[in-house]
Amino acid sequence: MSTKIVVDTSVFISALIGAKGPSRELIRRCLLGEYRPLMGTVLFCEYESVMGREEISVRCSLEPAEIASLLAAFLSVSEWTKIYYSRRPNLKDEGDNHLIELVVAGNAKIVATNNLKDFRSPELTFPNLSILKPEQIIRS
């Protein structure tokens, strides 16, 4: 059984705009089944919103249809997870709290993010949860 993981929007967008790199490699490994990404309504909406920004499309070498196909493929290997209880760990970026809710609801072990500083909080105490950059995940 593959390790459950929550892939922050920063990682998915980095995979879109970077021809190579750890974010793209992590998404590839999710597509191959090495990791089981969790997806929720808020995260999905965030992906769509950020992907639609002009500054992202300008930097992305993929055509809109290719981006849609990649997202569809990623969603096909993701486990849709409903959040029944709110947990607000009061992260530095309020917009990241939903990722922790997704972790708890889906019993994930890893949050993949390019923004580690946003997850530093004394209230964030989950002993079996690792907040890691894609390159840290790939090396392990």
What is the per-residue pLDDT across 43-66, written as a single tens digit (0 to 9) for each? 999 999 999 999 998 999 888 899
Q: For residue 113, what pLDDT is reported? A: 95
Residue with the larger pLDDT of the pair 19 and 25: 25
Contacts 24+ apart (CB under 8 A), 12-18: 12/47, 12/51, 12/74, 13/50, 13/51, 13/56, 14/114, 14/134, 16/51, 16/56, 16/60, 16/62, 16/67, 16/70, 17/56, 17/59, 17/60, 17/61
Q: Taking 90 as the threshold, does the pLDDT of residue 100 lie above it? A: no
> What is the pTM for the complete model shown?
0.91
Residue with the larger pLDDT of the pair 126 and 137: 137
Q: Delineate the domains of the chain, giving CATH numbers in brackets.
A: 3-139 (3.40.50.1010)
